[in-house]
Amino acid sequence: MAIRHLLSLAELGPQNLSYLVNQSLAYAAAREEPAKPLAGKIVGIYFRGPSTRTRTSFTVGAIRLGANTISYGPHDLQLATGETIRDTARVLSGFLDALVIRTNQSIAEMQELAKQNEMAIINAMSENEHPTQAIADLSTIREAFGRLDDVHVLYLGEGNNSAAALALAISQTPGMRLTLVTPEGYGLAEDVLETAHRLAAKHDSAIEHHHRIDHLPTDVDAVYATRWQTMGESKTDPHWLEKFAPYSVTPALMAKVSKSSATIFLHDLPAVRGQDVHDDVLDGAQSRAFRQAQHKLYSAMAVFRWCLADEEATRIARHA
């Protein structure tokens, strides 16, 4: 059986990304329990950090598609006692059909685990990128507007792994536009930005990145925020909060940048109310943040189908 790894959206291509968004939306719209394409399969859920939405989404998604799951914490595998990644992959690939991994470290460990073709490796977040989050983001946007073409997203806050994934996804979606506005010193990594610009030029989308909170677009379709302390990790600069404070999404900011009342607010959650977003925005009529969280389940289900050789996904991958 052929399998595919999902490590980075930069490796995915627009056809595969479109398939994942379409499949995610199909699951979101389904009125009945889905078929069981993962019946008889075993999925490992290996999370080296805390998670509410992503861990639950992948676990529930695997179960709904018919798989059994086994969960590993940060100290459960012999990796914690010195076993090599290659040996761990060799062993686990004899038991598991897929391994979903979250780490707040480099993607290098996932890449090493993916040097085999028996077990799909799925990046459920690394230090560099959160690819399945961006699939949920695009699904939420298309559900709200019925399209992705000509949609302009304004991202405010740190250039973290969610921002990286969003940039890589939008750069491969024709007609979309992303403006990232981040505090000085907390921008998107240069290599990610270069890749996003290259992909955007190829696929007729647009990526802009700057630090001018006083120079915001005023006609956006979606405003996106994330928690300023990614994964709750502290920042070394004792004055970091002062730098981030102007980037807080308030009702006044939403009114200033919104194209109309149809403009939506997005957040990958968890939110720190009163910092990255105010209650009136997160709980307001424009907010789609909690629907966005629900889409993490549907995107996880779509990723499982793509990674474990869905026939349509195989056809698309061959022509991508």
Quick: pLDDT tens for 23-39: 999 999 987 778 899 99
Burial class (CB in 10 A: 0-12, 13-18, 19+), 194: exposed
Q: What is the pLDDT of residue 156?
A: 98
**Domains of the chain by range and CATH?**
9-129+297-311 (3.40.50.1370), 131-293 (3.40.50.1370)
Q: Provide the mean pLDDT of the chain.
A: 94
The DSSP code for 124 is S
Nearest-CA neighbor of 317 among 9, 14, 111? 14
Q: 287: helix, coil or strand? A: strand
Please, what's the b/e burial string for 56-73 (b: 16 or more CB within 10 A of its CB; e: otherwise)?
Answer: ebbbebbebbebebeebe
Cα separation, 228 vs 202, whole angstroms: 31
Instruction: Give me the DSSP letters along 125-178.
Output: --SS--HHHHHHHHHHHHHHHS--TT-EEEEES---HHHHHHHHHHTTSTT-EE
Indicate the helix (H) or strand (E) that contains 208. strand 206-210
Please determine, for residue 1, whether its predicted confidence score (pLDDT) is greater than 60.
Answer: no
Q: Which residue has 């998604």 as its token pair? A: 61
- Kindly report, residue by residue over 127-179, the tens digit of the pLDDT: 999 999 999 999 999 999 999 999 999 999 999 999 999 999 999 999 999 99
Other C-beta atoms within 10 Å of 115: how many? 12
Out of 145-154, 172-181, 227-236, 244-253, pick the least confident.
227-236
- Kindly report, residue by residue over 53-77, the tens digit of the pLDDT: 999 999 999 999 999 999 999 999 9
Position 303: which residue type? V
Whether 106 contacts 128, CB under 8 Å: yes
Cα separation, 56 vs 299, whole angstroms: 12
Cα separation, 121 vs 24, whole angstroms: 19
